[in-house]
Amino acid sequence: MIFVIDVGNTNITLGVFDGDELKAKFRLTTQINRTSDEYGLLISDLLSLRNIDREDVECVVISSVVPRVNYSLNLGIKKYLELNAINLGVGTKTGIKIPIPNPKEVGADRVADAVGAYETYGGPVLVADFGTANKYDLITEDGSLIAAVTCPGLKMSANAMWSGTAKLPEVEIALPDTILAKDTVTSIQAGLVYGCIGQTEYIIKRMIKEAGLDKCTVVATGGLGRIIAENTDVIDIYDPDLLLRGLKIIAEKNKIIK
């Protein structure tokens, strides 16, 4: 089995693949002060709850955009699973080309998304990942990640509004029945969600146009991707497990499985 871990700014998502099947999926809050033993025990307990024997885990692959988590997480895996995790970074075989001035600037999560999208849906493909930040990445037919756009995510935008105003309340991020809001709650919801939909449509159309592409598959992913994907016609597919699948493919490309 292949154990994959995505360390994001808000959550840590973990998955276990048995062949091509995602056998289990877990989510933890990202906390930089967890010790290696805490990570090891959490992982061991989660696997046990899904009746997954730790000895059946052949390898671990990590993508992380939170460097302060990496040491304790890697040590916890080494202590409790007795495996050295591969951390996605420079030198890792991915099959994706990054023809930009400084490839090191591209986050590991974006690379994993690109691998998952390109290997699953072919190219050209545009990935829209809706998380703490909204990320739009364009991969060409030959597997080159040629452009990346980054914007504040829905929760980040909402938190900025709530913390920067005295009277606006915190509300659930949800799509109201109409953009013609008539109260404070639906007014905020309409601005956040419909604003994100508008941003998404413009950025995707503009990226595809400037790249000179006639056709391009658009794949949405991320925790808040479903609400956007279901309310616009510029997104073709919603794939919540895209990044995890990308990490599984990377494990296979690096031949770190038995």
Q: What is the 3-state composition of the chain as percent helix, strand, coil, each rounded to the nearest 5?
A: 40, 25, 35
Q: Is 203 helix (H, G, I), strand (E, B) or coil?
A: helix
Q: Which of 53, 87, 121 is the last residue of a domain?
A: 87
Q: How many structural domains does the chain have?
A: 2
Based on the fold, state whether residues 132 and 232 are members of the same structural domain.
yes
b/e map 142-166, b = 16+ CB within 10 Å: ebbbbebbeeebbbbbbeeeeeeee
pLDDT in tens, 206-220: 999 999 999 999 999
Q: Which of 109, 129, 137, 239 is catalytic?
A: 109
Helix 154-164 × helix 184-210 angle, to 10°? 140
pLDDT in tens, 175-209: 999 999 999 999 999 999 999 999 999 999 999 99
| Residues 86, 59 contacting (CB under 8 angstroms) | yes
The pLDDT profile of the chain, 258 residues, written as one tens digit per residue, is 999 999 999 999 999 999 999 999 999 999 999 999 999 999 999 999 999 999 999 999 999 999 999 999 999 999 999 999 999 988 899 999 999 888 888 999 999 999 999 999 999 999 999 998 999 999 999 999 999 999 999 999 999 998 899 888 999 999 999 999 999 999 999 999 999 999 999 999 999 999 999 999 999 999 889 999 999 999 999 999 999 999 999 999 987 655
Confirm whether 129 is domain-assigned: yes
CATH number at residue 161: 3.30.420.40
> Of 223, 249, 213, 58, which is closest to residue 129 (Cα–Cα)?
223
Based on the fold, state whether residues 62 and 17 are members of the same structural domain.
yes
The pairing of beta strand 133-139 with beta strand 125-130: antiparallel
Identify whether 109 is a catalytic site residue. yes
Based on the fold, state whether residues 226 and 116 are members of the same structural domain.
yes
Q: Which two tokens stand for residue 152?
A: 């504040």
- Domain that residue 181 falls in: 103-243
